Amino acid sequence: MIGGGFGGIIMAYELTKAGFDNFVVYEALPGPGGTWWANDYPGAEVDVHSSIYSLPFKSQNWSRTHARQPELHAYIEEALDEFDLRKHFRFETPVAEVRWDESTSTYALTTSAGETSTYHAVVSAVGLLSDPKEVTWDGVDEFSGHIFHSARWDKSVDLAGKTVAVVGVGSTAVQIVPAIAPEAGRVLVYQREPGWILPKGDRDFDEAEIKKFATPIRRRIRRWQHFAKSEWAHTYQPPYRLGSKRSQRGEATALAYIDNVFRGRPDLQKAVTPTYPFSAKRRVLTSDFFPALLRPNVELVPHSVERLTSNGIIDATGTERKADVIVAAIGFKASTFLSTLRVVGRDGLDIHEVWKDGAYAFLGVTLPRFPNFYMMYGPNTNGGAPITYMHQQQAGYVIRNLKAMARSGITQIDVKPSYTERYNRWLQTRMRGTAWLQGNNYFKGPRGQIVTQWADGVILYGLLIRLLRRAASVRRR
């Protein structure tokens, strides 16, 4: 298995639960958690209520409605020890290539250090938001200060009294800016395009609430209440459907929030109001970012970065502003799946060549001519439900195939091209009428098709996995 974030941990747990103990989890980072190891920038916390952004098999009495990175990371570390999963993990071991051998029906997995091992099946759990975009602005080599991506936060850099430029206003940047503003001398926020921002409603639980949910049964009930609310929101007029009631309500709430915070500041009000449809980009949840823009030491620059100089940034209008530190909150290579490794299937077929016009898969899990190769958080499995529930369904797909191989002496399980083609044609029809098609977002492939998102709830996804998996399979001894 490749990747030790939530997907890899859930897969590891389900393997041990099913009686499979002979597996290895390769993780490039020094510890578990994936994005929750890498993203330890100031203010990092989840956007989804903690009760459902949790491992399905480990209950937790969270201290906040939305867990912050340190608490979430400690929870992940605890899970590895509680369920005896740590022995399967190899940290600081990036995988460079996975190559299929038809003669042995196995994959040769090669690490970046050149070590090769052989496996009957491989599961990729590298995640959607794991490979940061490179900083490619002109003049980057000229800049004399500190510059780093938000997912590679340099803790050795002291921000006290410094002028810090944060490039981006997405879900990461809106957490960073309020967290560093009290410490930094000045904060410049570069905004290429405003996001649709809704108040998050995050807060610490009081002692009475923590005591109330001290028992697992109460936490389980709360978890299912939040799950049911999320599932209903993603199946009945979801906010990403153009013209839906939830879309209209969401847009009205966002506009009212802008009016409320920036009353008396028409310049900021105009600058932060999107001109594209609601949900056309990932909706941003924060209760702290807008108020932070009103601080005297914070300046919103509603323009993109044109180039860097030795002392700062020149924006699209040609204006230069000095900066000591630049934080590139510019996102990840989300639509370029498996961007950190090479996967070679039957007849020497490279998966990135297959995906040159955009990534796709059967149920987001597997692809024809790549037998015994599976993906957690693969194409078109994001956004429709809490991702841990999707991971659980994907793990079930893998486990059922592994059991079939062990039971029947099957050496290869592939997926039929006809099922894959029909499934993805149907999938793209589900994207019609969504705001996703109309935004400048990370959801799209090279031809403009949606390659990251799932447009329905997790219940339908789980039903499709159970109904179609066996019929779509090609089995070989």
For 403-443, the pLDDT digits (tens) are 999 998 899 999 999 999 999 999 999 999 999 999 999 99
CA of residue 132 relative to chain centroid, distance: 11
pLDDT band at 385 (very low <50, low <70, confident <90, very high): low
pLDDT band at 41 (very low <50, low <70, confident <90, very high): very high
Residues 186-193, mean pLDDT to the nearest whole number? 98
For 138-169, the pLDDT digits (tens) are 999 999 999 999 999 999 999 999 999 999 99
Residues 84-92, mean pLDDT to the nearest whole number? 98
Contacts of 42 (CB under 8 A, 6+ apart): 153, 175, 176, 179, 180
Lookup: tokens for 294: 């009103």
Give me the DSSP letters along 340-351. TSEEE-GGG-BH
Residues 370-385, mean pLDDT to the nearest whole number? 92
pLDDT band at 234 (very low <50, low <70, confident <90, very high): confident
* Separation CA 388–CA 461 (nearest Å): 13
Which amino acid belongs to residue 402? L
Q: Supply φ then ψ for residue 329, to 5 degrees.
A: -95, 60
Grouping H, G, I as helix, E, B as strand and the rest as coil, residue 469 is: helix
Q: For residues 26 and 413, is the Cβ–Cβ distance under 8 A?
A: no
Q: What is the pTM of this model?
A: 0.95
pLDDT at 250: 97
pLDDT at 235: 85
Instruction: Say how many residues make up the chain.
Output: 477
Residues 280-301, mean pLDDT to the nearest whole number? 97
* Separation CA 37–CA 153 (nearest Å): 11
pLDDT band at 384 (very low <50, low <70, confident <90, very high): low
First to last CA, the chain: 23
Residues 465-472, mean pLDDT to the nearest whole number? 93
pLDDT exceeds 90 at position 130? no
Grouping H, G, I as helix, E, B as strand and the rest as coil, residue 300 is: strand
Map out the domains of the chain with their CATH numbers.
6-131+333-476 (3.50.50.60), 146-201+228-328 (3.50.50.60)
pLDDT at 386: 78
